[in-house]
Amino acid sequence: MQNSTPSSKSYKIGITHGDFNGISYEVILKAFSDSRMLQMFTPVLYGQSKVISYYKKSLGIEEFNYSLTRDVRQAWAQKFNIVNITDDELKIEPGVLSEQAGRMAVLSLKRAADDLIKGNVDALVTAPVNPALLQSDAFRFNGQSEYLSSLFNGAEYLEMLVSDYLRIGMVTSDISLKEAVATISKELVMQKLILLAKSMKKDFNIDTPRIAVLGLNPHAGDSGLAGKEEQDVIVPVLSLASKNGLLAFGPFAADSFFTTDEWRKYDAVLAMVHDQAALPFKMISVNGGALYTAGLPVVRTAPFHGPAYDIANKNEASPDAMRRAMFLALDILNQQRLI
């Protein structure tokens, strides 16, 4: 550990510590064991130094150095910084679902989000959590994107999966399939389609994106035989989108769209439900992918995987998705600065 003061200005990226009983600290430690990461931006972890010391020793990453800071504005450039979110003794139980770990994940998120809103950090990368453990009287949100949206008066947002190969937005995400089907409407699909198109321009420098839209039902409804949402909801949205200058195509059958190279013809894809997006994304993005909450006035990304309790503290977790989340946040910050 080093105690220090800042000497140069660069992007500061806040990192929540997620569920400390999962793989969060492992992927963070592994990602920043490459010192070149520190030359790109200044990372600030909202966590606890005792926890990182535990995992350093347990995983044999003893050469990892960090600096403590009470105020993120005093974070050292080109060093790994930690803001201790609590002085309480934390019970570290790798692989165990713990109420204390859930409370600390919420506290980390709230502290980091507060600094993000104040402009003390330029972007936020959230480490993996178990959404069920976050729930309490003080936190009643399905996920972290919903919480961040609430900080901006319920701002519209789009959860997007991003890798080197693929970008997929989701009309509905972390809700049950039954609820998702009931939620899908012309208004919602259009809202998410517009958010995706805007993000392509603002965040990815694609002025006129070509967007493929997936159907909801098997075989994209089979002309109404397998469901009418395509005819009643999606096709009218595509027609209206076309009249408004959006290059949106479909609806494509979700079960076959990714079995050929058809998806490569488009800049982005809009899926109706979570698994339509997540399954092909994980199969195609083998070197790690990230989640991006598009549409908010702040930049938030996350590695697209869970806390992986089954391999916690076994030195088996890959940092690829965590690195991808960091690089994505940097790319978006750089792109937005150009506008």
Going from the C-alpha of 67 to that of each of 42, 45, 49, 57, 59, the distances in angstroms are 11, 10, 9, 17, 20
First to last CA, the chain: 39
Per the structure block, which two tokens stand in for 43?
């990372």
User: Quick check: do 1-157+288-339 and 165-284 share a fold?
Assistant: yes
- CATH dotted code for 1-157+288-339: 3.40.718.10
Domain ranges, ordered by start, for the chain: 1-157+288-339, 165-284
pLDDT of residue 226: 65
> pLDDT tier at 78 (50, 70, 90 boundaries)?
confident
Please report the DSSP string for 169-196 in residue order: EESS-SS-HHHHHHH--HHHHHHHHHHH
pLDDT tens per residue across span 21-73: 999 999 999 999 998 999 999 999 999 999 999 999 999 998 899 999 999 99
Helix 235-243, helix 186-204: angle, nearest 10:
50
The DSSP bridge pattern shows strands 268-271 and 123-126 to be: unpaired
- CATH dotted code for 165-284: 3.40.718.10
pLDDT tens per residue across span 225-261: 667 888 999 999 999 999 999 999 999 999 999 999 9
What whole-number distance in Å separates Cα of residue 265 and Cα of residue 267?
A: 7
Q: What is the dihedral of CA 51, 56, 59, 63, to 10 degrees?
A: 170
